[in-house]
């Protein structure tokens, strides 16, 4: 995949990681005490959520986010933006077209000369073969 498409994919990956991060954290967060008047929220049954996931998920997901951002920076550094300017590119294209035309004409010339020689040789060969067939002495 070309570099720009890779960059676009990477941006979308960063976006997906971001909303997955926030969504997961918001969904799995334990309830918090709102005000001193209300009693503690009922302690949720310590299922799989307890300790293990709730503490690790932010670390894992933020590490993913940071890695994705670093990958994006890497890809940006790999962009082959040679020189500045649309004009420079257009000038180079014009030069290349002129050179292409010149080389094309030379190719055409060589091709025509080669075909002419081929015809001559074929002609001579058929004459020689005829002479051989008719047992005439070669001049």
Dist CA 68 CA 113 (whole Å): 60
**Distance of alpha carbon 53 from the chain centroid:** 37
- Within residues 77-116, the interface with other proteins by CB under 8 A covers 77, 79-82, 84-86, 89-90, 92-93, 96-97, 99-100, 103-104, 106-107, 110-111, 113-114
Residues binding other proteins (CB under 8 A): 2, 4, 7-8, 11, 14-15, 18, 22, 26, 65-66, 69, 72-73, 76-77, 79-82, 84-86, 89-90, 92-93, 96-97, 99-100, 103-104, 106-107, 110-111, 113-114, 117, 121, 138
């Amino acid at each position: 995949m070309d570099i720009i498409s890779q960059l676009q994919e990477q941006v979308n990956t960063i976006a997906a990681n971001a909303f997955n991060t926030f969504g997961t954290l918001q969904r799995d967060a334990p309830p918090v005490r709102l005000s001193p008047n209300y009693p503690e929220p009922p302690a949720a049954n310590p299922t799989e959520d307890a300790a293990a996931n709730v503490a690790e998920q932010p670390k894992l997901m933020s590490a993913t986010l940071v890695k994705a951002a670093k990958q994006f920076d890497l890809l940006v550094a790999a962009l082959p933006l040679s020189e500045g300017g649309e004009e420079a590119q257009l000038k180079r294209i014009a030069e290349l077209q002129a050179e292409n035309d010149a080389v094309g004409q030379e190719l055409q010339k060589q091709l025509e000369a080669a075909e002419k020689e081929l015809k001559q040789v074929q002609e001579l060969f058929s004459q020689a073969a005829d002479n051989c067939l008719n047992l005439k002495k070669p001049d």
